[in-house]
Chains A and B, each alone.
Chain A
Amino acid sequence: MRLDSWVMELFFLPLVYLVMREARIVYGRERASIFFWGSILWTGTIENLAVMLGAYDYFAYANYYSFGGRVIQGYGGWVAWILFVPVSICLGWFFLSFPALMVSIRLLGDRANIWLKAAFAGLILVSYDVFFDPLAVVNQWWRWTTPALYIRGVPLSNWIGWFFLLFFFGALYERTVLQQKGVRGLVWLERMLFRADTTDLSGMDTWRIGRIFYFRLAAYLPVFFAVSMIASLLTTTLWNNRWGPYHNVFPATAIHEKYTIPAAGQAGSPRQEPAILSVGEQPSGADR
């Protein structure tokens, strides 16, 4: 049986609300909101860039789902979108990562290093996704279109990305919002931007701390991409078991051109054009 993505959202969105409600009790309304909006900005940006780089897509143009192109013309299978990424994907990250970080902080204690706590939270998050992503793939909620080592239909680079997503976000959140301290290397830039000494944020307005947190997330975005890309390319170079061709809805990237080998009978044509599925058409096995 195949479950449509809206069925998943039906169960899932009320639970997002419940986690937000509890987080407001535990951390306070403002700190919970900072985590919420920070996670939307963080994952919304990274997921959209990953989709545009051709790592995966959400059938945005496929008219594939049971409602897509039949009951509701142009419906892409998800309730709402941020550019090319369903809102539920960003909310899902919030729903899992905030409890994971809370659990990690409590189990490892206040004395543990923030990066260690963030790494443990990342491990919790990844272990959930190692179960969930193969389920999403066989239910065709999204499709992976990147050269990589595939395990149960999911590239290893996905889990590397998931780990570093919470690793950087969690460490910055704890350091900035919970501990209210500075981040080495950013203090001089923050002094210029915020006209304040950001080595110690205690006593500062919580919303202002939030703005500093968002800035720190933006500053760590290139770091996230650099670390994730290096780790992913390394594993792909060593253990790639799926070379393509790929059918992402976006044009081929340089990475894909490098890794894609011509299909039989297509000499000189390194990559097939993106496949746009029509109403009722099932994707081929190579798409998944």
Chain B
Amino acid sequence: MNHADPVADADSAGADRARRRMAFWPLLMYLIGLVWAYLSVPFEGHTSAPENVVYSVLVAGPFWIAMLVFLVVVRRDGRAKP
């Protein structure tokens, strides 16, 4: 017997919005982390909190760039649909 999982229609606007939110929440956590990095004591090898922030923006580049590109792509997909 086949109990197919009722997956949301992959092309539906609702699923697109859910995809965007799913990528947005980790991005929000990252932004909260940047604030923490600023409030926190300097990381090992750093001398000031602003140095933490610069480091955090640079090293997490692949993360936030991929998330932002994804958000743009899914947004564009949604607009291209009739």
Interface residues of A (CB under 8 A from B): 1-3, 8, 11-12, 15, 18-19, 22-23, 25-31, 95-96, 98-100, 102-104, 106-107, 120, 123-125, 127-128, 130-132, 134-135, 137-139, 150, 152-153, 203-207, 288
Contacts and interface: CB of A to CB of B under 8 A. Distances in A.
A interface secondary structure, majority: helix
A28 B7 contact: yes
Contact of A99 (B4, B26, B43, B46): B26
Contacts of A207: 3
A102 B26 CA distance: 12
B29 A15 contact: yes
B interface secondary structure, majority: helix
B31 to A, nearest CB: 11
Nearest to B38: A1
A134 B7 contact: no
A204 B59 CA distance: 42
Contacts of B37: 131, 135
- The interface size bin for chain B is 35 or more
Contacts, number: 144
B42 interface: yes
A150 B44 CA distance: 10
Contacts of B56: 131, 135
A28 B12 CA distance: 13
A3 B39 contact: yes
Contacts of B23: 99, 102-103
Given A26-B19, A135-B37, A11 B29 contact: yes
Contacts of B32: 11
A229 to B, nearest CB: 25
Interface in B20-38: 21-23, 25-26, 28-30, 32-33, 36-37
A27 B18 CA distance: 10
Given A19-B25, A128-B26, A131-B56, A28 B5 contact: yes
B3 A138 contact: no
A8 B69 CA distance: 27
Given A27-B7, A96-B26, A138 B1 contact: no
B30 A128 contact: yes
11 contacts: A2-B40, A25-B15, A25-B18, A26-B8, A100-B66, A107-B73, A127-B62, A128-B63, A135-B37, A152-B45, A206-B3
